[in-house]
């Protein structure tokens, strides 16, 4: 943990007028069995203290000249944890902190992550009123057997509100889905997906393969979990991708699909290495070539902020090699690929000198990559193995 006042802080953001803002809400109603994100059980007293601390962290950031009055927010993202678990009054207060502290850019995107069990009409109306433009729902599955197994506390029936007309007032509605679940078959996944695709206001879908993380209940009982075999996993991934592409979704990143005009701009800013500020415990920031993270522990966060310290866990410089590696890795996970001409502008290294050119020729011959003008693009088959391709090129 780094106690940080005046020394060693990133420069003022004056020169960068547009940034993204991520605000972490660390509260959950219960812990899902696969989850290794930082979260604690919600209680209203802790939530009130946390909201005060967020405001204080913002003031500290401004006093330390990490951000300045001139900064505008292109995108805002309330993530967690479970932001929708906050009460109407708490959510409204959080929105007010943002509105009173920052200028929102014209055409901004403002996303709030919601879980089905804690989302209500009242919260929806209030968020809309406060200027939120986009809701992202952690549905994960529409099989009650799978939801129970994952330790999710909502049911498939509870997700029925996703058919409500009131959601059409938002610019974008997204759903998160998980697959590769214990005991799941391709047919199970197809049933869930088929039903999700009947939601009338769906614009965005993120589909993640289950990761069994160390230190979680799933991680501890890994050997007992009837995880799908590799062949079934491939069927699921390819079947899911095929179905979504055939229903008008752009497959714009390995795990992300959007109706035209509905990509998540906040995530795209991360992948483009555009600047963003994180507020709240466990949040990350990227400003002026430095990445820094806040402490992933609520009490430490509250103590540091209360005592006038920026609550940093670490600060790291992103040197040219690291930047170039990340650009290859993130670029090959996206349908837009890598702009090999402007590569040098961001990382200072010519693309041709950084990557293994023989491998590129080989992967193009094998139909895993293609070249279009200055762009190196993953093909549909290439996206399936994007991380391996990037590792080979670097």
Per-residue contact track with ligand SF4, 67 to 96, x per CB under 6 A? -------------xxx--------------
- Distance of closest approach, residue 193 Cβ to ligand SF4, in angstroms: 20
Q: Which of residues 100-129 bind ligand SF4 (CB under 6 A)?
A: 115
Nearest to 202 by CA among 282, 270, 135: 135
Q: Which of residues 264-303 bind ligand SF4 (CB under 6 A)?
A: none
Per-residue contact track with ligand SF4, 316 to 345, x per CB under 6 A? ------------------------------
158 lies in the site for ligand SF4, by CB under 6 A = no
- Distance of closest approach, residue 272 Cβ to ligand SF4, in angstroms: 25
- Distance of closest approach, residue 85 Cβ to ligand SF4, in angstroms: 9
When the beta carbons of 80 and 180 are compared against ligand SF4, the nearer one is 80
Buried b (16+ CB within 10 A) or exposed e, 189-200: beebbeebeebe
When the beta carbons of 35 and 330 are compared against ligand SF4, the nearer one is 35
Using CB under 6 A, count the residues that bind ligand SF4. Answer: 11
When the beta carbons of 138 and 311 are compared against ligand SF4, the nearer one is 138
When the beta carbons of 28 and 390 are compared against ligand SF4, the nearer one is 28
When the beta carbons of 208 and 309 are compared against ligand SF4, the nearer one is 208
251 neighbors 257 (Cβ within 8 angstroms): yes
When the beta carbons of 119 and 354 are compared against ligand SF4, the nearer one is 119
220 neighbors 244 (Cβ within 8 angstroms): no
* Token pair 């974008």 in the structure block, residue: 172
When the beta carbons of 119 and 363 are compared against ligand SF4, the nearer one is 119
Please give the Cα distance from 102 to 74 (Å, whole number): 11
Please give the Cα distance from 13 to 140 (Å, whole number): 37
Nearest to 292 by CA among 126, 87, 133, 57: 57
- Distance of closest approach, residue 350 Cβ to ligand SF4, in angstroms: 41
When the beta carbons of 39 and 141 are compared against ligand SF4, the nearer one is 39
Residue 341 CB neighbour total at 10 angstroms: 12
> For the CA atoms of the chain, what is the radius of gyration?
21
Per-residue contact track with ligand SF4, 27 to 46, x per CB under 6 A? -x--xx--x-x-x-------
Write the Ramachandran bin of 308: left for phi over 0, alpha for psi from -120 to 50, otherwise beta: left
- Distance of closest approach, residue 283 Cβ to ligand SF4, in angstroms: 14
DSSP 3-state assignment of 52? helix
Determine the angle formed by the axes of helices 44-63 and 298-306, rounding to 10 degrees.
50
- Distance of closest approach, residue 140 Cβ to ligand SF4, in angstroms: 8
Which of these ranges, 24-32, 258-266, 283-291, 333-341, lies near ligand SF4 under the rule CB under 6 A? 24-32
DSSP 3-state assignment of 310? strand
When the beta carbons of 58 and 218 are compared against ligand SF4, the nearer one is 218
Start-to-end CA span in the chain (Å): 32
- Could you write out the DSSP letters of every residue in 103-144? EEEEEEEEEEEE-GGG--HHHHHHHHHHT--EEEEEEE-S-H
- Distance of closest approach, residue 115 Cβ to ligand SF4, in angstroms: 6
The residues that touch ligand SF4, with contacts defined as CB under 6 A, are: 28, 31-32, 35, 37, 39, 80-82, 115, 138
């Amino acid at each position: 943990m780094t106690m940080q006042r005046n020394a060693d802080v990133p420069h003022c953001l004056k020169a960068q007028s547009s940034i993204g803002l991520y605000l972490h809400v660390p509260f959950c109603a219960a812990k899902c069995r696969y989850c290794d994100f930082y979260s604690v059980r919600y209680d209203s007293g802790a939530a009130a203290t946390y909201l005060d601390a967020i405001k204080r962290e913002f003031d500290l950031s401004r006093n330390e000249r990490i951000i300045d009055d001139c900064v505008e927010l292109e995108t805002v993202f309330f993530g967690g944890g479970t932001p929708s678990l906050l009460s109407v009054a708490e959510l409204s207060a959080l929105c007010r902190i943002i509105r009173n502290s920052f200028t929102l850019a014209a055409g901004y995107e403002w996303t709030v992550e919601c879980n089905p069990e804690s989302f209500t009409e009242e919260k929806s109306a209030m968020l809309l009123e406060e200027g939120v433009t986009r809701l992202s729902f952690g549905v994960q599955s529409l099989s009650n057997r799978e939801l129970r197994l994952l330790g999710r506390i909502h049911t498939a029936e509870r997700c029925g509100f996703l058919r409500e007309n009131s959601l059409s007032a938002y610019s974008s509605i997204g759903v998160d889905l998980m697959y590769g679940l214990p005991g799941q078959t391709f047919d199970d996944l197809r049933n869930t997906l088929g039903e999700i695709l009947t939601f009338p206001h769906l614009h965005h879908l993120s589909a993640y393969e289950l990761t069994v993380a160390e230190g979680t209940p799933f991680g501890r009982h890994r050997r007992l979990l009837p995880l799908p075999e590799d062949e079934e996993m491939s069927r699921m991934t390819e079947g899911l991708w095929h179905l979504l592409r055939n229903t008008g979704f752009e497959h714009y990143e390995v795990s992300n699909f959007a109706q035209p005009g509905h990509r998540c701009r906040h995530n795209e800013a991360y992948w483009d290495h555009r600047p963003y500020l994180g507020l709240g415990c466990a949040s990350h920031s990227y400003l002026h070539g430095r990445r820094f993270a806040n402490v992933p522990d609520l009490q430490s966060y509250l103590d540091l902020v209360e005592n006038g310290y920026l609550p940093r866990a670490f600060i790291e410089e992103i040197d040219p090699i690291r930047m170039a590696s990340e650009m290859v890795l993130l670029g090959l996970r996206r349908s837009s690929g890598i702009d090999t001409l402007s590569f040098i502008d961001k990382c200072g290294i010519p693309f041709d000198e950084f990557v293994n050119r023989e491998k590129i020729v080989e992967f193009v011959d094998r139909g895993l990559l293609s070249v279009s003008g200055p762009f190196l693009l993953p093909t549909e088959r290439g996206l399936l193995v994007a991380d391996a391709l990037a590792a080979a090129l670097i």
